[in-house]
Amino acid sequence: MTVSRAQALVPDLRIEADDASADAAALDRLALWLLQRVAPIVSADPPDGIAIDSTGADHLHGGEAAMLEALAGKLALSGITARLALADSWSAAHALARHGADGVIIVPPGASDAALAPLPLEALRLPVATVAGLRDLGFETIGDLMDQPRAPLTRRFGAELCRRLDQARSLASEPIAPLRPEGLIEIRRAFAEPIAAPETIARYIGKLVVQLCTELTAKGLGARRLDLLCARIDNHTEVLRVGLAVPQRDPARLTRLLCDRIVTLDPGLGIEIMTLTATIAEPLVPRQAATSLLEETAPDLSGLIDTLSNRLGARSVFRFAAVASDVPERAIIRIPPLADTATPSMDTWPDHWPRPSRLLPRPEPIETMALLPDHPPRWILWRGVRRHVQCADGPERIFGEWWKRDAEAHAVRDYFRIEDEAGARYWIFRQGDGEDRATGSHRWFLHGMFG
Amino acid sequence: MPSVRPALADLRARIGEIDGTGARQHGVLPFEVRELDRRLPQGGLSLGALHEVAGGGQGAVDGAAAACFVAGIAARMKGQVLWCVTQADLFAPGLAQVGLPPERVIHVEAGDDISVLAAMEEGLRHGGLAAVVGDVARLSMTASRRLHLAAKGSGTIGLALRRWRRQADASDFGQPTAAMTRWRVSELPSAPLPVPGVGRARWLVELIRARAGDSFDLELEACDGAGHLRLPADVADRSAATAGGRHIAVG
């Protein structure tokens, strides 16, 4: 379509000149952003794609589905319309992202063939002439090709067709060459003989870390994220990613963090190249250790936090902070353990009412007998046990957040603190104010336990 | 425990060093309740040691009172607290009300008991923490010994909050461990009020086992906003009279 014709069809059309080099640069920037946040192996796939090898990285983000969902959300927030697909091979993911259904596609391991079968032939990244030739022969989808004898196809269309088909079905390997931006601090070591023993790997990790720290010191930087890429002799890359709470360049500590995770590396028949990069490096200036003789300095916990968060996942080590919300389950937020604790919204929870020490993950429905609208129940039946209420405090009325959610415009919860005859104290609430059905279902729930 | 003869005190300290009580090196944390501290062998909870706490009855499963008891102990220490759990149901506002504000607690959520124990050991070895708490169900002799030695090395107090999935599993609490003391905290009906409402919570605090000390049980009022326990007023009067100490004449 010519520009004049497009302008005739759509009034006020904005025209921008095609700038392929700027597009490629922007794609590289996006790939670098993903490299620092998602996985150690990321590569720009021009003109319009990015390939990520998420093996060994998804658990840090809470699983594959959670990782893709978070990624889609982040991209949408930065104004990028993206289609995401996750599959066994690069080719399959490439095809599904471009020719599959809208939204996020996750193909479970081993199910690539079924997912690929209905896609058109263009999804295989074949030359136009090959696709046209296959169409002439009556092939429409990838599924049509899968069960065909390969020799005649190869003789007619060349080796490219079967190679692409094998790559898509993960029968042939297609490594992703990781993006390595300018200025990235990278230490590489190739071995004359492949290494596989954990002790040997640990020794060479130590040597790489020392070299890396020397370079970091020269630049006045500290590592926030380290990636160790181990190229195996069978053309497969094992990765190990380590995150740090604060910039570090202490060789002993970095070595320990990496060596803790050696068990997750599968050396296979042997590793021939090890590459250690400081994917995220931040300025780290020397500090004076003790400034005051009178004040005791707070102990440095970053080493402990790094060890724990690399072992259990970064989401597993956290601190709670207050959020300005009356709804109990929304009043807390998890923040990184070394985050600045002065949250802008609110610094502490209101202290007028006692709060339980244990809060159930979701309120559990209970059966009660209670005088409506404002009396506590006489008894409750929870998990099959009937408890008689001896004394109670309440109600503490909590209104829904009508300024945030339309569904909670009229919602009300009345909380009671009750004590049974044995002395156990519970936090229960009634959905609704006890009079008006619009405020809630009037069902009772148990929400927490007091000590 | 004040000792009259220095030779005896010296011997006691040497035995303490051998059997790993460690109170001499790291000191103790008194409860500041005279009735309680008086009966503890070192006059308080020894720092640099492992202590076990469990809930009684329903508390063996929900661990609510035990969590408050432990949070009260940690609140009276100075510094950061590491709290390792498998089920993430601690409610931070509730902990803040017994004196442990959120900026003092680092939470660790681990998948299983073994990871919790490993995280606890890591925290105890670090030495920069005030206390390390872990919600664990199974605590073997070996695991508790490791934790105890790690605590002894660094002087950090280790608190194993025993909590089971089912009430039936709570019989595990009888198994021997290397902990210095073993506590059971059960909820009691609260102090009666002249008006309708729930009074200050009361606990039956039982010291089931203490190394080099006797076990006892005591009815106490739950932790206040700074983590301090208190003897209920009626019990305080009674025990003072039976102990033959001060006599308070009431006109």
Q: What is the pLDDT of residues A185-223, one digit of tens each?
A: 889 999 999 999 999 999 999 999 999 999 999 988 889
CA-based nearest distance B213→chain A, Å: 27
Are the C-beta atoms of residues A60 and A39 closer than 8 Å to each other?
A: no
Angle between helices A150-157 and A128-136 (to 10 degrees): 130
Percent of chain A at pLDDT above 90? 19
B101 near A CB under 8 A: yes
Q: Which of A81-95, A122-136, A217-231, B10-24 has the lowest mean pLDDT?
A: B10-24
Give the closest of A337, A391, A449 to B64, CB-based: A449
Closest Cβ opposite residue B108 in set A312, A390, A418: A312
- In chain B, the percentage of residues whose pLDDT exceeds 70 is 88
Cβ of A419 within 8 Å of Cβ of B198? The answer is: yes
Phi, psi of A214, deg, nearest 5? -60, -45
Q: Tell me whether residues A299 and B128 touch, CB distance under 8 A.
A: yes
Which segments within A47-109 are labelled E, that is strand?
49-53, 84-86, 104-106
Instruction: Please provide the average confidence, as pLDDT, over all residues in chain A.
Output: 86
At residue A142, the 3 state secondary structure works out as: helix
In the prediction, which pLDDT does A288 show?
65
In Å, the largest CA–CA distance within chain B is 61
- Give the closest-approach CA distance of B141 to chain A in angstroms: 24
Locus of tokens 């680092």: B106
**Residue B245: what pLDDT?**
39
The token duo for A214 is: 């020397």
**Does residue B160 lie within any of the structural domains?**
yes
3-state helix, strand, coil in chain A (%, to 5): 35, 30, 35
- Interchain contact, B126 vs A304, CB within 8 Å: yes
Contact A423 B126 (CB under 8 A): no
A397 vs chain B: nearest CA distance in angstroms?
Answer: 16
Contact yes or no for A250/A217 (Cβ under 8 A) = no
Q: How many other C-beta atoms are found inside a 10 Å radius of the C-beta of residue A305?
A: 24
* Structure token pair of residue A252: 């002993």
Q: Which pLDDT tens digits describe chain B residue by residue (251 residues)? A: 454 678 888 887 777 777 655 455 688 899 888 888 888 888 888 888 999 999 988 888 888 999 999 999 999 998 899 999 998 889 999 999 998 988 899 999 998 899 999 999 999 999 889 999 999 998 999 999 999 999 988 999 999 999 998 888 888 888 899 999 999 999 999 888 888 888 889 999 999 998 878 899 999 998 888 888 888 877 655 544 444 334 444 43
CB-neighbour burial class of residue B128 (10 A; exposed 0-12, middle 13-18, buried 19+): middle
Q: Residue A381: count other Cβ atoms within 10 Å of its Cβ.
A: 15
Shortest CA distance to A400 belongs to which of A327, A322, A324, A323?
A: A327
**How confident is the model over A299-328, as a mean pLDDT?**
86
Residues of B with Cβ-Cβ distance to A348 under 8 angstroms: 96, 101
Q: Which two tokens stand for residue A120?
A: 């058109």
Q: Do B189 and A354 touch (CB under 8 A)?
A: no
Beta strand ranges found along A207-270 (DSSP E): 221-232, 237-248
Cβ–Cβ gap B64/A391 under 8 Å: no
Lowest mean pLDDT among A159-168, A237-246, A353-362, B239-248: B239-248
Superfamily of chain region A185-283:
DNA polymerase, Y-family, little finger domain (3.30.1490.100)
Does the CB of B98 have a partner CB in chain A at under 8 Å? yes
Question: Which residue from B minimizes the CA distance to A312?
Answer: B110
**Which of A316, A355, A393 shows the shortest C-beta gap to B108?**
A316
Chain B residue numbers with beta carbons less than 8 Å from the beta carbon of A425 are 64, 187, 190, 198, 201
User: Which CATH number is B217's domain given?
Assistant: 3.40.50.300
Q: How far is CA A192 from CA A5, A200, A233, B117, in A?
A: 63, 14, 11, 41
Cα A284 to Cα A377: distance, rounded to the nearest angstrom: 60
Q: Does residue B6 lie in a domain region?
A: no
Task: Kindly indicate the confidence band of residue A181, based on its pLDDT and cuts at 50, 70 and 90.
Answer: confident
Chain A residues inside the 8 Å CB shell of B71: 357
Q: What is the pLDDT of residue A303?
A: 87
Residue A448: list chain B partners with CB under 8 A.
Answer: 91, 94
Instruction: Give contacts of A354 with chain B, Cβ < 8 Å.
Output: 94, 97
Residue A345's pLDDT is what?
47
Q: Which of A55-69, A129-143, A165-179, B179-193 has the lowest mean pLDDT?
A: A55-69
Sheet holding A237-248, edge to edge: A185-195, A271-283, A221-232, A237-248
How many structural domains is chain B composed of? 1
Largest distance between two CA atoms of chain A: 88
User: Which residues of chain A lie closer than 8 angstroms to B107, CB-CB?
Assistant: 317-320, 334
A355: nearest CA partner in chain B: B94
Q: With a threshold of 0.80, does the pTM exceed it? A: no
Residues 6 or more apart whose CB falls under 8 angstroms from that of A441 comprise A431, A432
Q: Least CB-CB distance to A357: which of B67, B80, B115?
A: B67
B191 at A interface, C-beta within 8 A: no
Contact of A276 with A226, CB cutoff 8 Å: yes
Angular region, B173: left φ>0, alpha ψ -120 to 50, beta rest: alpha
Tell me the three state secondary structure of residue A16: coil
H-helix segments, A137-184: 142-146, 150-157, 159-168
- What pairs with residue A398 in β-bridges? A413
- CB within 8 Å: A307 and B122: yes
Residue among A321, A331, A424 whose CB faces B187 most closely: A424
Cβ distance A332 to B101 less than 8 Å, yes or no, reads no
Using omega within 30 degrees of 0 as the cis cutoff, is the peptide bond preceding A247 cis?
Answer: no
Asked if the model's pLDDT at residue A266 lies above 60, the reply is yes
The residues pairing with A430 across neighbouring beta strands, listed in sequence order, are A414, A444
Q: How high is the pLDDT of residue B247?
A: 40
3-state secondary structure of A262: helix
Classified as helix, coil or strand, A275 is: strand
Contacts with B153 (C-beta within 8 Å, 6 or more apart), sequence order: B48, B124, B125, B127
Q: What are the residue boundaries of the structural domains of chain A, listed by start?
A: 20-168, 185-283, 358-450
> Please, are residues B189 and A390 in contact by the beta-carbon 8 Å criterion?
yes
Q: Residue A164 and residue A198: Cα distance in Å, rounded?
A: 36
Catalogue the E-assigned strands of chain B.
28-29, 45-46, 50-55, 81-85, 105-109, 131-136, 157-162, 181-188, 202-210, 216-221
Output the pLDDT for position B24: 58
Amino acid at B233: A
Which of B78, B103, B190 best tests the A interface by mutation, with the highest count of A CBs <10 A?
A: B103
Mean pLDDT, to the nearest integer, of A334-359? 76
Residues in A touching B202 (Cβ below 8 Å): 423
Which chain B residues touch A374 with a CB distance below 8 Å?
Answer: none
Contact between A357 and B90 using a beta-carbon 8 Å cutoff: yes
Domain residues for the domain of B83 are 22-186+199-243
What residues pair up with B210 in beta bridges, in sequence order? B181
